[in-house]
Structure 1
Amino acid sequence: MKAAYIEHTGSINEIKIGDLPHPQVHTDEVLIRVEAVSANHVDTFVRSGSFKTNQSFPFIIGRDAVGTVIEIGSKVKEFQLGQRVWTNSMGYDGRQGTYAELISVPSNRLFHVPTRVNALQLVASVHSAATAAILLNDVFDTTPNRKILIKGAGGHVGQKIVELARLKNLEVFTTSRSSDFDQLTMLGASQTFDYHDPIEEIPEKFDYIIDTSGKVELQSNLDSLNQNGQLALITAPVSNQFQFKVREFYTNQKSIKGFVISHAGLPQLQSAAKVINHAFEKNRLLNDELLILPIEEAQLAHSMLENNENHRKRIVLTLKK
């Protein structure tokens, strides 16, 4: 079968396109004929070796995929031949990735594609949508009618957080480029602010803040929280350093939480899949602009991600049937 794989971690030049043996299907797994995969920044981290994880070589890169069930392990009961399915947690912790014609996926990491949902839009969304769902449901365990501020809301993850936060009846505030204001308002933001302006100029205080940018001083974020407020960081500043006022922080019972979806537990991923599939059924979370490339362009896709080129579009790699 055709696959994009590496024989050891390193630069994009390590990505090879070639034939590998068909994957073995264990009793608790499902064999998928892949239609499309999305290319994510985390794929580049795993491929380069900057994000350490258990790998066996040759290692197929990639995390997310959408495709069709063509073989079912003997212990699997919840899937049928011909069903369209998706996954978003392969290519990590000993699991082979998704950039291949055929992939064998543990059934508990596989989810149905809702009826009439565009498969390419779905696979482009599942990484950022699941991140948003876990942040709101597990990292924060949000309460309706509270105020949330999303920093860098114009990005892929930020937009998914806005949409899901509004569906959870949170009052949503955002910072972004002014060119994103109309889109964010359509997705559910009640107030939008230019990210160039200091956060201190926002008159509101918030119960939750999610910083997707890494460009706001930690103390500024903490100053914008209510008592018992919670801050989530999903990136870091270039300096990898922050300072903050510790006494003020603990006496107001504020909290700082970090999150990467690679460390999400299986129950979190399964819960997130239910949330985002429900949204997909309502034609939500499916508004990403796509750049569609063939799997043979995996090197190009990783180069674009590493150089922050074409950051307004989600990269989807397709496989010929």
Structure 2
Amino acid sequence: MEESLTCEHPERKILMKAAYIEETGPPEVIQYGDIPTPEPGEGQVLVKIGTAALNPIDTYVRNGANYWELPKPFVTGSDLAGTIEKMGPGTSRYQVGQRVWGTNQGLVGRQGTFAEYAVVDEHWLYATPDDVKDDAVAACALTGITAHLGLGADNAALKSGETIFVHGGSGGVGSMVVQMAKAMGATVLTTAGSREKSEICLELGADHVFNYKTQDVDEEVLKVCPNGVNVIWETIREPDFDFLVSIAAERCRMVLMAGRDARPEFPVGPFYVKGCSLHGFVMFKASPEEMAVSGNEISRWLSEGKLKPQIGKIFPLSEAAAAHKLQEDNTLRQAGTLVGKILIKP
């Protein structure tokens, strides 16, 4: 007699498309394919991604920057905008079908956003205004919150009527700082490397733009502000502190948000004699409550037209590796082939 076989069928997992890595390395390690759709846990929601955005830190993590242990497979990407698909237990802030946006994913061991769906702790999400598109809010996510935190009371403490110098006003964070500083009532001075980028800075609200390739920037800044500027926002990876201190006013506040491996010389004497202060920070170490203040303000400014997202190029999810390469070419190798944010569409 034939032996009877019992065939048990394990629960079939629902799959989604994602851009993910099994090991760190160059952009070519990114795979595009099917992985299980995640399920929201306690305090989490499942978001159907409408638009994701790429940031330099996403490329550093993919390339093996040893900030924290990564899950495997690891989905890259920090920023998202989309619609809530499913609520996990213990959630009450939002509802299914509501449009939301956020950042801080793909960091500190969390899974990222380059996928059709992402599970997100609801405290990292903010309501998307009805009159704001997913592309627009995704393009302002990490960069916008970084800018808002840096300009706030714990860092630059920028006040209406003050002057601020922003190094690189057409870049991802720089363009957000220029617009927010203007919205806060400051006089904004910034730099750009081409006529095209200078025009972008002026459109964003900068009062004075200097071409760092053709002009003596410190001389030009001091023509406009003979006593120096009140706030300096540094975006470049290798700060020149002799230059920065030379354009600083008494009690100038300097904000650093780049150059993790930088070890520049520092003019201690001129710095402290002017009573300057130096503020370094990274967005992902802010608390959910701190980031919520920024997120809600960004949503309001976008709805009011006070923030204009800078979108450089849009890639389909299947071309995530090419998107990472373009970002690296411009961040690390100064290719100059990108103005604005790279977006990813599932």
Tell me if TM exceeds 0.5.
yes
* Gap regions ≥5 residues in structure 2: 1-15
1:34 pairs with one of 6, 25, 49 = 49
Deviations 1:69-125 (A, max 9, x none): 111123111111111111111111121111111111101001111112121122122
Residue range with higher mean Cα deviation, 22-31 or 51-60: 51-60
Distance 1:183-1:140 versus aligned 2 partners, 3 A rule: same
2:319 pairs with one of 285, 297, 300 = 297
| 1:145 aligned residue | 161
Aligned residues: 318
Distance in 2 between the 1:253 and 1:267 partners?
A: 31
Distance in 1 between the 2:305 and 2:20 partners?
A: 33
Distance 1:178-1:34 versus aligned 2 partners, 3 A rule: closer
Q: Does the 8 Å contact 1:124/1:290 carry over to 2?
A: no
Residue range with higher mean Cα deviation, 214-223 or 167-176: 214-223
1:135 pairs with one of 147, 150, 163 = 150
Deviations 1:123-157 (A, max 9, x none): 12212211211111142122221111111112222
Q: Which of structures 1 and 2 has the bigger CA Rg? A: 2
TM norm structure 1: 0.93
Shift of 1:215: 5.8
Distance in 1 between the 2:323 and 2:201 partners?
A: 27
SS in 1 for 2:321: helix
**Which amino acid in structure 2 is aligned with residue 300 of structure 1?**
A
2:301 pairs with one of 279, 296, 306 = 279
1:226 pairs with one of 212, 232, 249 = 249
Deviations 1:155-176 (A, max 9, x none): 2221111110011111111122
Shift of 1:264: 3.1
Distance in 2 between the 1:214 and 1:24 partners?
A: 38
Distance in 2 between the 1:223 and 1:67 partners?
A: 45
Q: Does the 8 Å contact 1:151/1:195 carry over to 2?
A: no
Q: Does the 8 Å contact 1:215/1:237 carry over to 2?
A: no
Q: Does the 8 Å contact 2:139/2:309 carry over to 1?
A: no
Deviations 1:291-318 (A, max 9, x none): 2211010111111111125321422111
Q: Does the 8 Å contact 1:69/1:82 carry over to 2?
A: yes
Q: Does the 8 Å contact 2:312/2:341 carry over to 1?
A: yes
**Which amino acid in structure 1 is aligned with residue 132 of structure 2?**
V
Deviations 1:4-52 (A, max 9, x none): 1111222222211121112121120011111121122111111111252
Distance in 2 between the 1:39 and 1:195 partners?
A: 26
Alignment of 1:180-199 (within 5 A): 180-196=197-213, 197-199=215-217
Distance in 2 between the 1:185 and 1:290 partners?
A: 17
| 2:35 aligned residue | 20
Distance in 1 between the 2:112 and 2:132 partners?
A: 23
Residue range with higher mean Cα deviation, 57-66 or 191-200: 191-200
| 2:338 aligned residue | 311
Distance in 1 between the 2:184 and 2:100 partners?
A: 26
1:77 pairs with one of 92, 98, 104 = 92
**Which amino acid in structure 2 is aligned with residue 24 of structure 1?**
E
Shift of 1:266: 2.5
Distance 1:281-1:190 versus aligned 2 partners, 3 A rule: same
Distance 1:268-1:198 versus aligned 2 partners, 3 A rule: farther
1:211 pairs with one of 218, 234, 249 = 234
1:9 pairs with one of 24, 43, 47 = 24
1:109 pairs with one of 124, 140, 143 = 124
Alignment of 1:27-66 (within 5 A): 27-66=42-81
Residue range with higher mean Cα deviation, 304-313 or 70-79: 304-313
| 1:162 aligned residue | 178
**Which amino acid in structure 1 is aligned with residue 74 of structure 2?**
F
Distance in 2 between the 1:162 and 1:146 partners?
A: 13
* Gap regions ≥5 residues in structure 1: none
**Which amino acid in structure 2 is aligned with residue 53 of structure 1?**
W
Alignment of 1:229-248 (within 5 A): 229-236=252-259, 240-248=262-270
Distance 1:186-1:304 versus aligned 2 partners, 3 A rule: closer
Shift of 1:235: 2.4
Distance in 2 between the 1:108 and 1:237 partners?
A: 28
Residue 125 of structure 1 pairs with residue 140 of structure 2:
yes
Distance in 2 between the 1:228 and 1:286 partners?
A: 31
| 2:5 aligned residue | none
SS in 1 for 2:140: helix
Distance 1:174-1:100 versus aligned 2 partners, 3 A rule: same
Residue 259 of structure 1 pairs with residue 294 of structure 2:
no
Shift of 1:279: 0.8
